[in-house]
Amino acid sequence: MAKKHNKGRSQRKTPLKSAAVQPSPQKGIWRVLQILSPTGLFWATVSLIAALISSYFLLRPQIEVEPDIAIDPKQPMTTPFRITNRGVLPIYNVHKECGITKLNTGENGQPQVNLFKFSFRDTTDPYIPRLDEGESTSVLIRDGHFPFIVPGKPFECGDIDVVVEYTTAIIGFRKKQSFRFETRRDVNNEVRWYHKASSE
C-alpha cells in the first residue's frame, strides 16, 4: 500500500516541474539587439517617416472652391463661389479675395465692355475667425466691385481667381490658395463657371 501511495505522489509532482520552467531572458535582450542593429534602425526610421507622411496627408488643410447656383441665371457674375473646409482640422482667420483676369459683356456683333487685371477683397466679411471641418462660406462678385458699370450690358464672360488665405491649425502657418475659373456655354447655351488650370 505504501508503494502505491508514493507512486501517486510522484505522479502529482510532475506537472509542477514543467510549470516552473521559464523562458530564457536572452530572448528579450536579443530583441533589443535586433532593434539597435543597422537593419533594425533602418526599418524603424522608415516606419517613422511613413507615419509622419501619413499624418501630414491626413491632417493637412484641404480647401474646396466650387461655383454655386447663380442668383440671377441671366447674369453669371451673380454666381457665389462656395468655399468649403474639407480637412480634418479647422482653419482660422480666413480671408476671401477675387482676382479678375478678364471680364466682358460677351455680346456678339456689338461693342463690348472689357475689364482686365484687377482684384478685390470681400468686404462683407473681412475675415472669418474659424472654419471647421465641413463648414462653408462664399464669395460673390458684386456690381460695387467693378470700376464702372454700363447699364444694359451685364458682364457675361469672365476669367477669375478665387483666393483663400487662412492660418493652419497645428503649426499656425499663413497659407494662400488660388482657384481659377472661366465661363463657358453649356449644351443649353447657358453661361456657367468651370475650373481652369492656373497655367492655362
CB atoms within 10 A of CB 24: 8
d(CA 39, CA 31): 13
Question: First CA to last CA across the chain, in angstroms?
Answer: 104
Torsion of CA 176, 138, 189, 104, to 10 degrees: -60
**63-196 carries CATH number 2.60.40:** yes
Domain spans, the chain: 22-59, 63-196
Burial-class residue 159 by CB neighbours within 10 Å (0-12, 13-18, 19+): middle
Q: Spell out, as residue ranges, where the chain has pLDDT lower than 70.
A: 1-37, 40, 55-59, 106-111, 122-126, 143-152
Read off the pTM: 0.69
pLDDT computed for residue 63 by the predictor: 94
